[in-house]
Amino acid sequence: MLTPNRARRPLLAANWKMNPLAAADAVELARRVSHAAREHDSFVEVALFPPFPWLLPVRDALKGTGVELGAQDCFWERAGAFTGEVSAAMLTGWCGWMIVGHSERRIIFGETDEQVARKAAAAMEAGLRVIVAVGEREDQFVAGHTEQVVSGQVDVVLRQLAASGADRLVIAYEPVWAIGTGRNADPPLADRTMRAVRQRLELGFGARAAVVRVLYGGSVNAANVTSYVELDACDGSLVGGASLKAEEFSSMIEAVAAVSRRPAT
């Protein structure tokens, strides 16, 4: 088994979802995580994605740490009569990253592949780096349609993006049935699916696909993250619940950095 591609520094992205409830707790979590991240900055990139209300206080807490900041969603229009929405253009002065297409957005809020693609394009146009989450439902997994579903989701996004922005694109494979359930995809399945994602990237972006990072997410934690990031196809992880525990997420940073430090074979 080979170590990850040295041309792509591993990324650990912490999706806090609608947590924590208090700004002070968000700031404390960010500060504690940043200490571990600073020690391993050369070997792993770390980005935190708090809820919208905590973006500003977390941004201030992260100044000078090297840890990056992102938002969990955006709307595809720059401005207008869209009550309750926030555009990517509005967020560019606050953060450098955006997540779009998380399964909770797709399932709970009914977002389609096309809408996810429009959000990704809007975020890229605004100059943000974008994590596009893709993944199959349990019925699709049981039916053996994982690669077909995931490849289709990637294709729709790539039709909206230019290869010139490939260095600001990340694809996160998160099987829907593994998110928040304690069940995670076994590494061989994750590897096959992430390889399928990279094949779609190569078809869409050609040689520029080499700079796109592909992550695994879905009940990933300190105990199993190494089994994913040591896969040839994996460039890091999109982390949910485990990222809300400072010690757990710090251990994940250390584990990913340890894999990144291994000599190439």
**Cα(233)–Cα(228) distance, rounded to whole angstroms?**
9
Among the options 45, 104, 136, 174, which is catalytic?
Answer: 174
Neighbour tally for 232: CB within 10 Å: 14
Among the options 40, 45, 68, 102, which is catalytic?
Answer: 102
Of 120, 123, 121, 151, nearest in space to 136 by CA: 151
C-alpha torsion angle, residues 107, 71, 46, 56 (rounded to 10): -150
Q: Strand locations in the chain, DSSP E?
A: 11-15, 45-49, 68-71, 97-100, 129-134, 169-173, 213-217, 236-239
Catalytic (active site) residue 174: yes
Q: Strand locations in 159-218, DSSP E?
A: 169-173, 213-217
Catalytic (active site) residue 145: no
Would you name the residues annotated as active-site residues? Answer: 102, 174
